[in-house]
Amino acid sequence: MVDIENCVGGAVLTSSAACWAREVVVRELGGASDQMVVGVSHVGLLATADAWPGARLLVKSGPDGADLALLEVLQGEQIAARFDEVVLFSGDGIFTDAVDALGADGVRVTVVGHRGRVAARLCMAAAETRYIGMGQTRMGDAA
């Protein structure tokens, strides 16, 4: 599950930003995933769809729109009955309760985010926390 706006550090305004996020996710996952779910606002929908063919795109506008769209899936689609592991690309604390609930249901949740930008409570709720880009922290930063 990818909060693409958290991954790129803001609205996804270009295809290159969405492609960069996809490259980060693929690198962190080692290329393996059963299902890719990406939360995005309407502003970044076209760029994200172009960069991420085959992904399930969740679109919601407004403050925390992408987060809220992902939360609806985490809390409402019986994730624990379908998956043993979930990888969440976001550092937003809004996901803490959902991650905690999945862990209590036996799902191993790994949180991936930017160093210094992952909520402490989210880290504690996750089975594992990893950090994006050992050197490249945001799109456009030098490696």
Q: Is residue 142 part of a domain?
A: no
Q: Is residue 14 part of a domain?
A: yes
Write down the pLDDT at residue 29: 85
pLDDT band at 134 (very low <50, low <70, confident <90, very high): very low
Q: Is residue 115 part of a domain?
A: yes
Q: Is residue 136 part of a domain?
A: no
Cα(99)–Cα(30) distance, rounded to whole angstroms?
22
> What's the residue count for the chain?
143
The total number of structural domains that make up the chain = 1
Q: Is residue 143 part of a domain?
A: no
Q: Is residue 109 part of a domain?
A: yes
Q: Is residue 138 part of a domain?
A: no
Write down the pLDDT at residue 139: 45
Render pLDDT for 33-83 as a digit per residue (tens, 0 to 9): 778 999 999 999 999 999 999 999 999 998 899 999 999 999 999 999 999
pLDDT band at 135 (very low <50, low <70, confident <90, very high): very low
Average pLDDT of 92-106?
A: 98
Q: Is residue 140 part of a domain?
A: no
Identify the domain containing residue 27 by its residue range.
Answer: 2-131
Q: Above pLDDT 70, what percent of the chain?
A: 91
Write down the pTM of the prediction. Answer: 0.88
**111 and 132 in contact (C-beta within 8 Å)?**
no
Closest listed residue to residue 6, CA positions, set 132, 130, 136? 132
Cα(104)–Cα(33) distance, rounded to whole angstroms?
22
Q: Residue 113's domain is classified under what CATH number?
A: 3.40.50
